Amino acid sequence: MARVVRLDELDRIDVAGVHWHPVRKPLGITAFGINAYSADAGEHLIEEHDESGSGAGGHEEVYLVVRGRATFTIAGEQVDAPAGTLVFLHDPAERRGAIAVDDGTMAVAIGGPPGAVGAPSPWEFFFSGAGRPPREAYALAAEGLEHHPDHGALHYNLACFASLAGMRDEALDHLRIAFEREPKAREWAADDADLDAIRDDPRWPA
């Protein structure tokens, strides 16, 4: 069952010179770390730290400023971060911190060990091709085969992109795998105009 919490309802704990709002623990999140921080103008929003020291998790981190404005200092370089800004740090050893520019500034910090999330979801690859020329869309979606070589929905979308691109052989190969791996693929293909270019091919999977 979904658990819902609003940022303004989170507990506030004043510690290490910042106003910390725990998110991970009250929601019971186990896949990644997530917490929120608030500050008024001139206060520390995020304490200066890195993720390689004692007590740190060695995480990659991304900070999303959801309200107000902050100035981040990343390895000595300042970054202006109004609401809607994402600041990502790949290197756990990189020093980071932030000062609020506006009263009521709030940021959400999300982190996890590098590589912990595993392979990207299959949909990310075929979504990336949406609205692009068919051959370009096919190339982008095909990158997903490295991680998901037998995923039916990925092969189905590759069949569609290949069909639109005039890549008949590739389209039919992907469609065959899609029919084998994805129970809904035949239903999708029944009236999918993306596949019209190969629909009359005698190699269309039975």
Evaluate whether residue 70 is within a structural domain. yes
- Tell whether 86 and 37 lie within a shared domain: yes
Q: Is the pLDDT of residue 116 over 90?
A: no
Evaluate whether residue 205 is within a structural domain. no
Task: Tell me the per-residue pLDDT of 38-54, one tens digit each, with 9 for 90 and over.
Answer: 999 999 999 999 999 88
Mean pLDDT of all residues belonging to the chain:
96
CATH number at residue 44: 2.60.120.10
Query: Is there a contact between 52 and 23 (Cβ–Cβ < 8 Å)?
Result: no
Query: Is there a contact between 164 and 197 (Cβ–Cβ < 8 Å)?
Result: yes
Q: Is the pLDDT of residue 99 over 90?
A: yes
pLDDT at 93: 94
Among 112, 130, 153, identify where a domain stops: 112
Evaluate whether residue 2 is within a structural domain. no
Among 85, 112, 139, identify where a domain stops: 112
pLDDT at 182: 97
Evaluate whether residue 203 is within a structural domain. no
Among 112, 142, 173, identify where a domain stops: 112
Q: Which residues contact 173 (CB under 8 A, 6 or more apart)?
A: none
For residue 49, what are the domain limits?
Answer: 7-112
Task: Tell me the per-residue pLDDT of 169-205, one tens digit each, with 9 for 90 and over.
Answer: 999 999 999 999 999 999 999 999 999 999 999 999 9
Q: Is the pLDDT of residue 55 over 90?
A: no
From first CA to last CA, the distance across the chain in angstroms is 41
Q: Is the pLDDT of residue 118 over 90?
A: no
CATH number at residue 192: 1.25.40
Calculate ∠ Cα 124-34-37, nearest 5°. Answer: 125
Q: Is the pLDDT of residue 206 over 90?
A: no
pLDDT at 176: 98
Total count of domains within the chain = 2
pLDDT at 166: 98
Calculate ∠ Cα 142-156-125, nearest 5°. Answer: 35
Query: Is there a contact between 23 and 29 (Cβ–Cβ < 8 Å)?
Result: yes
Lowest mean pLDDT segment, chosen from 110-119, 124-133, 180-189, 195-204: 110-119
Residue 122: HSE in the Cβ half-sphere, 13 Å Cα cutoff: 12
Residue 85's CB is within 10 A of a number of other CB atoms, namely 16
pLDDT at 54: 80
Phi, psi for residue 46 in degrees, rounded to 5: -125, 125
